[in-house]
Amino acid sequence: MLWLCDILQSMNKLKVGILFGGKSAEHEVSLQSAKNIFDAIDREKYEPLLIGIDKSGRWLLNDESRFLIHAEDPKRIRLNTSSDAVALVPQSKGEISNLSALKNGSADDSSINSSIDVIFPVLHGPFGEDGTVQGLLKLADIPFVGSGVLASAAGMDKDVMKRLLRDAGIPIGKFRVLCADDDVPSYEEVSSELGTPLFVKPANMGSSVGVSKVKKQREYFPALRDAFEYDTKAVIEEFIPGRELECSVLGGSEIMASIPGEVKSRHEFYSYNAKYIDKRGAELIIPAKVSVEIIQRIRELAIAVFKTLCCDGLARVDFFLKKDGSVIVNEINTMPGFTKISMYPKLWEASGISYTQLIDKLIGLALERFEKEKQLKTSL
């Protein structure tokens, strides 16, 4: 039985659409992130709605009691696809987007209609973190957490990201880009330019998916084939010996950086398994045991990277700390993982912002940006 006070309270809550899953190879990571956000969000202020995207691209309005299968097992976790298919419907006034259930390709009288105040697109990788969903949400005129189209696309593409950072004078490692239709340079040519070992990566992928560490000539072509399974462009990077440090960034008009943490992988490198499957795959040291000067340098560089790529809301910036004390930027992640073992929320927790407070701040930043953009002229 619902009491009147319960009804009034629910009417004052913001409806937050947690958008998760997706067509990316990082689909399962997104499921874990969504579960943690759903569990931690402040129910006094927000009413979460779960919108899962399956691997074929269908949007599903999920019931909170059964939206995941094998939710506690990162190896077997999957989206429950026996839910109502939904579509994001842009509105001319744009203040609220509707989600209308689709029955056999068209809405009928039994459609589910839910208004959403803000979307939290906890999507990782292509078709979610790369600007595609951000463009859709902008067309729908609905506030959303995280960077917009430009920063999301630039941050996702390691080639474009590295060129922008290089032109801004931010220290990065040496790299080379290869498109699927290009003539493949020999291992001798690439290794003479970048040294050995090498890292071969898909340009548009995260969570170390499709990444190979190449130590010998015989590993070179299989690594490229693996990278091209996930993208039409591959990035070949020099190996930078040093400690792996990470820093979380939060903000809009005012930007702040967390204390840095260190990742010590127990695998060959900080692979997908080390990040999300093997609970003992890596040791996270928070805060990183480095000097005050190094901490300041990392924070400054993290904010510089965030600004250079025109990011908004959140990002995690990854670094290498060399033995000589120099700091090299590895890459940025504009929608970092929110799993139980993810660095982004852990670094903020160590910096004084709890998981629940972090979600609250991110939603607030999304609404703040939306209100600012509403003031802009769209016609003469």
Q: Angle at the Cα of 102 (from 96 to 103), degrees rounded to 5?
A: 155
Long-range contacts, 365-374 (Cβ 8 Å, 24+): 365/145, 365/250, 365/251, 365/252, 365/312, 365/313, 366/118, 366/120, 366/143, 366/144, 366/145, 366/146, 366/313, 367/118, 367/143, 368/252, 368/253, 369/143, 369/252, 369/312, 369/313, 370/118, 370/142, 370/143
Residues 19 and 119 in one domain: yes
Average pLDDT over residues 275-282: 59
> Which two structure tokens, joined as six digits, stand for 304?
């510089």
Alpha-carbon span 227 to 176, nearest angstrom = 14
pLDDT at 72: 80
Alpha-carbon span 164 to 153, nearest angstrom = 12
pLDDT at 282: 75
Residues 232 and 207 in one domain: yes
pLDDT at 70: 83
pLDDT at 64: 80
Per-residue pLDDT tens digits for 31-41? 999 999 999 99
For the cut 70, the answer to whether the pLDDT of residue 179 exceeds it is yes
In a domain, 329, yes or no: yes
Instruction: Count how many domains the chain has.
Output: 3
What's 114's domain CATH number? 3.40.50.20
In a domain, 324, yes or no: yes
Residues 205 and 294 in one domain: no
What's 213's domain CATH number? 3.30.1490.20
For the cut 50, the answer to whether the pLDDT of residue 101 exceeds it is no
Helix axes 355-374, 343-350, angle to 10 degrees: 100
H helical segments located in the chain: 4-12, 27-40, 132-139, 149-156, 158-167, 187-194, 220-228, 272, 292-308, 343-350, 355-374
Percent residues over pLDDT 70 in the chain: 86
> Looking at 89-98, 119-128, 338-347, 371-380, which range is the least confident one?
89-98
Strands 243-251 and 313-321: antiparallel
Q: Answer positive or negative: Cα dihedral of 258, 262, 266, 269.
A: positive
In a domain, 103, yes or no: yes
In a domain, 302, yes or no: yes
Residues 12 and 89 in one domain: yes
Residue 86 pLDDT class (50, 70, 90 cuts) = confident
pLDDT at 63: 80
Per-residue pLDDT tens digits for 51-67? 999 999 999 888 887 78
pLDDT at 153: 96
Alpha-carbon span 267 to 277, nearest angstrom = 12
In a domain, 246, yes or no: yes
> Looking at 204-208, 217-221, 313-317, 320-324, which range is the least confident one?
204-208
In a domain, 169, yes or no: no
- Of the candidates 206, 238, 270, which is a domain's last residue? 238
In a domain, 149, yes or no: no
> Which two structure tokens, joined as six digits, stand for 349?
């927790």
pLDDT at 278: 54
Which structural domain range is residue 286 located in? 155-163+241-373
Contacts of 63 (CB under 8 A, 6+ apart): 50, 83
Residues 272 and 283 in one domain: yes
For the cut 60, the answer to whether the pLDDT of residue 277 exceeds it is no
- Of the candidates 238, 267, 291, which is a domain's last residue? 238
> Looking at 17-26, 79-88, 123-132, which range is the least confident one?
79-88
pLDDT at 368: 96
Looking at every residue in the chain, the average pLDDT score rounds to: 87
pLDDT at 335: 95
Top pLDDT among 96 and 289 is at 289
Q: DSSP 3-state assignment of 196?
A: coil
Sheet holding 212-214, edge to edge: 175-179, 233-238, 198-202, 212-214
CA 26 to chain centre: 10
DSSP lists the bridge partners of residue 328 as 320
In a domain, 217, yes or no: yes
Residues 322 and 233 in one domain: no
DSSP lists the bridge partners of residue 214 as 198
What's 303's domain CATH number? 3.30.470.20
Residue 281 pLDDT class (50, 70, 90 cuts) = low
pLDDT at 123: 95
Q: What distances in angstroms separate CA 216 from CA 176, 177, 184, 222, one per listed residue?
A: 18, 19, 16, 11
For the cut 50, the answer to whether the pLDDT of residue 236 exceeds it is yes
Residues 11 and 140 in one domain: yes
